[in-house]
Structure 1
């Protein structure tokens, strides 16, 4: 990270930049306070480089966003869009001397339209608050990332976020009907539609969802809603071997069941949750499946899936008969994070957890988990794997002491080994966290050369000066 002072060229540019930004922003929307700059320098991703921004801006209107982008474009200063900074791929990390553009104060729900089952909102609306607001109309916004209590709609759109229930209800991209965006040069554009059907022109909305703030800044979104989910029941199945759990997942899918959640905990994760005293988990089992159904007859649906799990080799099975029992089952999934935190806290030095995100075809799920366990043994690391078994998306979590250079090196190598294993099984380097800077090199390996060049061409088309979130996803 370079040192910028008022006497350096970069310092003089920063002074001009702040002055120009102040011409179109209220004073409270602009900050050069060192603590603010440090707080907005990066998202939650480990091992991801970041710089020091020149200024942080908190626009409250689309017009203010336009002013910021026009100013930065004219002065040729990079702009890094940010939401709640809960991302795990470095997509919101600052560049030296950049403008960090935070959309968290653009947090209004503009319209809820029950008749057309849609909602219009600004990007800073927190995901959980949006769902609570539409619930008053008997509707729901299904995407539910793990950080939904704090993450924002704009961030969800930027990364194409998923969640636990996406096995049945889909991911963020499935609910974005249209976008209001500002391009890198300050021009404003609307994409998409309010109609149920619509295939006019290229699908720019889908292109922008998951583009991680590299093509445009989202200032508004039109999102689809669904009727409120019916009451659900849940079950918990434990297996003596990983292949048995994988066979159960395949059997549930092949039989045509559509659970509202189908989560896998490996041996390490199962042990972590059991260590917190969850009464339903045997910490010695190789794998645990948590299954939820909100079908018209959830009891019958669960009974059928329980039979498939038993046939696949489940050695312990708990099928909830009422909502209270279901909550106890689902609580096992919610205890994963505190369970892993308790496990990592027992490590020496400065223990940390490196959360990975890969996806493979569902039929290769158990094979990938087995490979990850082998990687953990090979590098003498603790790796806890959990994930959305219903759609093949896993989150291996490497636990290590970041003050130990050798442990840090082994964690980085293990990370690469996991990525390589997923791609070798016909998978992808990210299911829902995005590319950012963390996986940029892996994206180049995953895409064929023609696809990679087209993606670089799209970046150049939208952002010819390469100023909007540069260095993320692809190198222009």
Structure 2
């Protein structure tokens, strides 16, 4: 979809817009624009934005969208820009509309277990704010300390605990959204149940800024999560670890966390920090349960039995919160560890996000090994294995044009294999620019027609985040 009816916008028009916004909200400084024009994705264009607006209120967002609608100017919504799919990248003639300064906790309703926040608040900051109330917001992406709630809503982020507690969509009670023409609207009820009309709120969760801009969200909370029991199992190879996941979950296991790390990831973590992980193991599982002590002990015994039947080298568990925290801290360091490895081996890393049926993960891992052997490039794998969300990383020398092209081919092949095994091209990172062409491969014609109809109805000029998720249809 291309932007329609765009008219010329020059300094005078932008100056007029600036006068309608908060003090200093708009800048046309090329260096500042360039510094805000991209997220963490590789191989995604980001050039051509004409202005940056750092909004501080819903009114600022409305003014930008009224202006954009009047002149047919594309708008790229942004938050913390921690994404890795190019969804926050600039595009030619666009205004970058950044809401990271809108980061207030508007209210905490303890009686109803709800919190209302602005979109720029960082996920971990929200968790810290809720702790004194004895309340928890469970969604916890690996970028929990960096990513904003608005961005989490835009991609329907999941994370480590979603195997039991669900993803962002499961906690969105209502949204306040600015539409393409500047209209401010409230989507979703304040009540726990409500079927008055179509559920438009969940249409916007995962829409990646292509339908409207979230300026406030009311989120469902749960009581403070209990300290978990944590089990660690090591295996001689990757397949046996992933088979343990499939067998344990298939037998009715209900972990609160189930993370997988392959041998390459374990080695990279040990090279990054003093984590004391078994660098000789073929793979490792970290499993947590947070039931009462008796039930947790029973689940741990069940897990150990399944892991040993799958050939585990060692299984151990602990109810010490310090042990649990240390293991999860190590798991969260995987991306910095990957970055250190990449920087020492040519600087290139492509992180994929293929979600699969749990029973398909062992074969998926076998196929990755075949790709690694045939290409000669390193492919490491971590996964939120309890719900099948895998994150393979392809490492390459970014200064070598042949290796770079090969890595991009492998990145696409990983998605093709995922689809072949019944999976999806993205579980939580989003489509953005990086995977827009692959969306065509996943969706059938009826689904594509429905999505374009929705896009055209809400954004008839195509000004919201053009060139991204739906643009390849």
TM range (shorter): over 0.9
* Higher RCO structure (Cα 8 Å, ≥6 apart): 2
Tell me how far apart the structure 1 counterparts of residues 441 and 78 of structure 2 sit (CA, whole Å): 27
Tell me how far apart the structure 2 counterparts of residues 177 and 334 of structure 1 sit (CA, whole Å): 28
Residue 264 of structure 2 aligns with which residue? 268
Tell me how far apart the structure 1 counterparts of residues 184 and 275 of structure 2 sit (CA, whole Å): 55
Aligned CA distance change for structure 1 residues 124 and 325 (closer, same or farther; 3 Å): closer
Q: What SS does structure 2 have at the residue aligned with 1:399?
A: strand
Does structure 2 conserve the Cα–Cα contact (< 8 Å) formed by 1:80 and 1:98? yes
Write the mapping of 1:320-335 to structure 2, written as runs, cut at 5 A: 320-335=318-333
Write the mapping of 1:88-127 to structure 2, written as runs, cut at 5 A: 88-127=84-123
Q: What SS does structure 2 have at the residue aligned with 1:454?
A: helix
Q: What SS does structure 1 have at the residue aligned with 2:437?
A: helix
Tell me how far apart the structure 2 counterparts of residues 189 and 201 of structure 1 sit (CA, whole Å): 14
Does structure 2 conserve the Cα–Cα contact (< 8 Å) formed by 1:121 and 1:220? yes
Write the mapping of 1:401-412 to structure 2, written as runs, cut at 5 A: 401-412=397-408
Does structure 2 conserve the Cα–Cα contact (< 8 Å) formed by 1:17 and 1:75? no
Residue 300 of structure 2 aligns with which residue? 302
Q: TM-score, with normalisation over the residues of structure 1?
A: 0.94
Shift of 1:337: 2.7
What are the ranges of 5 or more consecutive residues in structure 2 without an aligned counterpart? Answer: 1-5
Q: TM-score, with normalisation over the residues of structure 2?
A: 0.95
Instruction: Please list the CA deviations of residues 19-77 of structure 1 after superposition, one character each: whole Å capped at 9, or x if unmatched.
Output: 22123113311111122110111111111122221110012111121111001110111
Does structure 2 conserve the Cα–Cα contact (< 8 Å) formed by 1:250 and 1:363? yes
Tell me how far apart the structure 1 counterparts of residues 21 and 333 of structure 2 sit (CA, whole Å): 43
Aligned CA distance change for structure 1 residues 150 and 342 (closer, same or farther; 3 Å): closer
2:350 is aligned with 1:354: yes
Residue 20 of structure 2 aligns with which residue? 24
Instruction: Please list the CA deviations of residues 418-454 of structure 1 after superposition, one character each: whole Å capped at 9, or x if unmatched.
Output: 0100000000000000111111111111000111111
Tell me how far apart the structure 2 counterparts of residues 106 and 118 of structure 1 sit (CA, whole Å): 19
Q: What SS does structure 2 have at the residue aligned with 1:367?
A: helix
Instruction: Please list the CA deviations of residues 278-321 of structure 1 after superposition, one character each: whole Å capped at 9, or x if unmatched.
Output: 56533232221111111112333223212221122101222224
2:397 is aligned with 1:413: no
Tell me how far apart the structure 2 counterparts of residues 17 and 358 of structure 1 sit (CA, whole Å): 44
Aligned CA distance change for structure 1 residues 197 and 403 (closer, same or farther; 3 Å): same
Does structure 2 conserve the Cα–Cα contact (< 8 Å) formed by 1:139 and 1:225? yes
Tell me how far apart the structure 2 counterparts of residues 434 and 328 of structure 1 sit (CA, whole Å): 29
Residue 3 of structure 1 aligns with which residue? none
Q: What SS does structure 2 have at the residue aligned with 1:384?
A: strand
Tell me how far apart the structure 2 counterparts of residues 304 and 109 of structure 1 sit (CA, whole Å): 41
2:102 is aligned with 1:131: no
What are the ranges of 5 or more consecutive residues in structure 1 without an aligned counterpart? Answer: 1-9
2:385 is aligned with 1:397: no
Residue 456 of structure 1 aligns with which residue? 452
Q: How many residues align?
A: 465
Q: What SS does structure 1 have at the residue aligned with 2:62?
A: helix
